[in-house]
Amino acid sequence: MKILLIAPCPENEQRPNTMDIPQLTLSLIAGMTPSRHEVSVCEEVYGEKVDFDGDYDLIGITLMTQTCIRGYTVANEFRKRGKIIVFGGIHATCLPEEAILYGDAVVIGEAEGGLWEEVLEDAEKHKLRKFYKLEKLPDLQHHVFPRRDLIKCSSGKLSVAPIETTRGCPYNCDFCTVSRFFGTRQRHKLIKNIIAEAESCPQRYLFFLDDNITFDKEFAKNLFRELTHLKKGWVGQASINVAKDEELMKLAHKSGCRALLIGFESMGEIGINKYRKSLKTLDENVQAVRRLQSNGILTMASLIFGLDSDTQEAFDMGYEFLSKSKAAFFQACAMTPYPGTPVFEKLKSEGRILTDDWSKFDATKVIVSPKNMTPEKMLESFDQIKHAIYGKMSILKRALPNITLSFEQAVFYFALNSGYHKKNNPSLKSHIYRNPEGVAVDFNVQKYVPTVSV
């Protein structure tokens, strides 16, 4: 069969020339595909165009919540042409009954362990089932090497190779889909296979997609020791607990770590205690960021606003933390109730989700009514902290401990902060996203999926 794998993206969200983290999903699916099949990949986020009239037998579409409406629209066009449609991804896993309205089959969860091959065999025999799901999470010891010839690795002017060492997150936060998709137990790939895959990447820089690459400290230390000889720079995601282990930080830096994205989630007192993602006090978190800086590692601090525990204090404490710590980068997230999470069910039952337009569920937009403030106050405070931290004066004040680490980190610091500054300019008006008057928030996606040609 001729197979086209698509990562959909609405046209107004495409970023062909900006820094972005390349996907690994479709190249992993391609790597699982038996060689008798011909595979092509289309990633719309980079401005690639879907060839609706191409000579394909099967169309595989991976869905995230914010891209699913575009995915369903693309699927409709291919179904008009008689093509087989198979959905996968986090959104399809959380809402398979919705996805199947626009396709022939849905892969629920991970596709390793022979599941994707089973889908293809059934498609060839014209005996596709509606839903496919493994009985247990796959063993990552059986390594799947992605089709790296199909991966888009350019992030603006920087070339970055995505790579994965573990799956699963033990934190199990009530707003996060990761543990619902990958489980709450961290599973590891074999270090020798990770190194072999990293060696095969011609790119100088790697991005580790793991949600917490340092959770299992002994595994991480052994991995970092083996990575060192490759002399590649890398960025990954971790919890702030990495700053408690001096040896781990030193090994990470020696192996090429230049920055870590760390989910602090909330600096409010209740948030710190509830999510266990931060250290116990604001000052402890400030000192932890400084320890990472002293070990040559930039901190990309991620905070979520609009949690039910949040009052105005969350914004004030967040600003104080970012200013005192001089964290290199700030990822500002608005509380987003993703389907499949306890937060979604709670806010849905309480009528506090303002829109059911899935394309607005991207963690950057105000789409809920927070418990302790109005949506209008949430938007005002959210904009204020972004404008303050992304402002030119803040960028300069936070620069010194970050740009003195190395020339490449100085370039990275100013390039990324400049991008944040442009993207969050106060002149660009923000909005609260609500359904139009008279349009019920009933999560019937059909009202958003166009029936006309795209």
147 pLDDT more than 60: yes
Q: Which of 324, 315, 314, 298 is nearest to 238 (CA)?
A: 298
The mean pLDDT of 340-354, rounded to a whole number, is 95
By mean pLDDT, which of 17-26, 89-98, 308-317 is the weakest? 17-26
451 pLDDT more than 90: no
pLDDT digits (tens, 9 = 90+) for 380-423: 999 999 999 999 999 999 999 999 999 999 999 998 899 888 88
277 pLDDT band, cuts 50/70/90, is low
CA distance 163 to 143: 12
Residue 428 belongs to some domain of the structure: no
What is the reported pLDDT for 17?
A: 63
Based on the fold, state whether residues 185 and 290 are members of the same structural domain: yes
176 pLDDT more than 80: no
Count of domains observed in the chain = 2
Other residues' Cβ atoms within 10 Å of the Cβ of residue 440: 9
Based on the fold, state whether residues 354 and 417 are members of the same structural domain: yes
Residue 120 belongs to some domain of the structure: yes
Q: pTM for the whole thing?
A: 0.92
Based on the fold, state whether residues 211 and 345 are members of the same structural domain: yes
Based on the fold, state whether residues 30 and 89 are members of the same structural domain: yes
174 pLDDT band, cuts 50/70/90, is confident
User: Which of 17-31, 164-178, 339-353 tops mean pLDDT?
Assistant: 339-353
Q: Pick from 133, 168, 188: which residue ends a domain?
A: 133
Residue 147 belongs to some domain of the structure: no
What is the reported pLDDT for 170?
A: 76
CA distance 165 to 412: 24
The mean pLDDT of 294-306, rounded to a whole number, is 95
Based on the fold, state whether residues 89 and 174 are members of the same structural domain: no
Residue 366 belongs to some domain of the structure: yes
188 pLDDT band, cuts 50/70/90, is very high
Q: Is 344 exposed, middle or buried (0-12, 13-18, 19+ CB in 10 A)?
A: buried
DSSP 222-256: HHHHHHGGG--EEEEEE-GGGGG-HHHHHHHHHTT
Residue 452 belongs to some domain of the structure: no
Based on the fold, state whether residues 106 and 186 are members of the same structural domain: no
Query: Which secondary structure element, helix H or strand E, spans residue 389, and what is its range?
Result: helix 375-389
What is the reported pLDDT for 423?
A: 84
Based on the fold, state whether residues 195 and 261 are members of the same structural domain: yes
Based on the fold, state whether residues 282 and 377 are members of the same structural domain: yes
What is the reported pLDDT for 272?
A: 55
273 pLDDT more than 60: no
What is the reported pLDDT for 267?
A: 77
Based on the fold, state whether residues 314 and 391 are members of the same structural domain: yes
What is the reported pLDDT for 266?
A: 78
185: CATH: 3.80.30.20
Query: Which secondary structure element, helix H or strand E, spans residue 384, and what is its range?
Result: helix 375-389
Based on the fold, state whether residues 231 and 313 are members of the same structural domain: yes
361 pLDDT more than 90: yes
178 pLDDT more than 80: no
The mean pLDDT of 338-346, rounded to a whole number, is 93
CA distance 221 to 211: 17
Based on the fold, state whether residues 96 and 176 are members of the same structural domain: no
Mean pLDDT, rounded, of the chain: 91
Based on the fold, state whether residues 269 and 359 are members of the same structural domain: yes
Tell which phi-psi region holds residue 172, choosing left (phi > 0), alpha (psi between -120 and 50) or beta. left
Residue 193 belongs to some domain of the structure: yes
**Residues of the domain holding 343:** 157-423
52: CATH: 3.40.50
CA distance 187 to 372: 38
Distance of alpha carbon 384 from the chain centroid = 24
186 pLDDT band, cuts 50/70/90, is confident
Residue 443 belongs to some domain of the structure: no
The mean pLDDT of 287-304, rounded to a whole number, is 96
Residue 142 belongs to some domain of the structure: no
By mean pLDDT, which of 119-123, 276-280, 371-375 is the weakest? 276-280
